[in-house]
Structure 1
């Protein structure tokens, strides 16, 4: 894993990249980036594990449906000035892959009428060599574990071992987004990498 190569690749594509040794350093950076701005967050085990979500919620300027399932919070998050999301996989070749069941997480990361910044947060366990491996990881590692966590009635939720390409209405891999460049002319897009194993 070559973090410098990964950083250089994404910076050449217009992303801002910051790498931190731990979640405490990353949290300070993200809080500073979000100061005096309204924040929306997508469902993310990484944001929960690192404490980033709790810090933003405590500050009182954040919207997150992840714990209470409030659909109103999904709408408010989509309209926020800053949107923060985890990542299912990120490749050394310059792609971010996110899979979604509802669509709120990928759509809000792509576009928001009031959007000023998008911040993607991930641990080093999400890094892959190629786009193909990133797609494989998102489908066969992240999705089964998330389906199990959410207790979905799908084959991979029961076994949490791989994608079965099921046709269940409860499948969580209904939408796959591949980010190759930031979207929006005036939207800063940050990638925050933490040198730890985080999330699924």
Structure 2
């Protein structure tokens, strides 16, 4: 094991201890491949699954695996239905068994920082789905909430707006312009200090750099 990998594992262990104090279940996966396998072990036959937009989930291959699976999962895939049908589908997503996402940032003391445009992802994080599984690379770890918000605005949002084809200052200049544009993806900020339902939120920390 490399020195960097060992440091990642050591850090993850300490953060998982903080998660436990907050009613959040924490896990560590050494690699993206291990994380992919770990996530799938949570799903019982016949469960319903959905997810929020996430480069991390794409990078570990989870979305492709779910879409190609011959298992009897019920998938609520927003991208697989016409735009005019997505609002109706969302009413099913909020009641799904497992909602998958990443986190924009995670503090050393186990708080989750997430910033959204529409807010559908963070709404499901807060309430609705029976279980929320978060997959996050160790590059998402920050010292505190303020650093996490800064990371999201200046280092996660710019590539995300480029990916989504948004017309925002951060897409043009690569850094936050504190905009209020129609295409702004930083409209809603949620800090998760604690899970009121113990174990509902499960965080898999991955010993790699993943996502934005």
TM-score, length-scaled by structure 1: 0.90
Q: Secondary structure at the match of 1:173?
A: coil
Deviation of the 1:56 alpha carbon: 2.0
| 1:38 and 2:51 are equivalent in the alignment | no
Q: 1:188 and 1:74, CA in 2 relative to 1: closer, same or farther beyond 3 A?
A: same
How many corresponding residue pairs? 196
Aligned to 2:60: 50
Q: Secondary structure at the match of 1:33?
A: coil
For residue 98 of structure 1, the aligned residue among 114, 137, 140 is 114
Q: Is the 8 A contact 1:83 1:119 kept in 2?
A: yes
Aligned to 2:156: 142
Question: Which blocks of at least 5 consecutive residues in structure 1 are unaligned?
Answer: none
| 1:109 and 2:121 are equivalent in the alignment | no
Larger gyration radius, structure 1 or structure 2:
2
| 1:153 and 2:163 are equivalent in the alignment | no
Deviation of the 1:74 alpha carbon: 3.9
Distance in 1 (alpha carbons) for counterparts of 2:110 and 2:20 = 9
CA-atom RMSD, angstroms? 1.9
For residue 24 of structure 1, the aligned residue among 33, 36, 43 is 33
Q: Deviations over 1:136-170 (max 9, x none)?
A: 1111111111111111111111122x211111011
Deviation of the 1:68 alpha carbon: 6.7
Question: Which blocks of at least 5 consecutive residues in structure 2 are unaligned?
Answer: 1-7
Structure 1 consecutive aligned stretches of length 4 or more whose deviation exceeds 6 Å: none
Distance in 2 (alpha carbons) for counterparts of 1:3 and 1:136 = 21
Distance in 2 (alpha carbons) for counterparts of 1:73 and 1:52 = 21
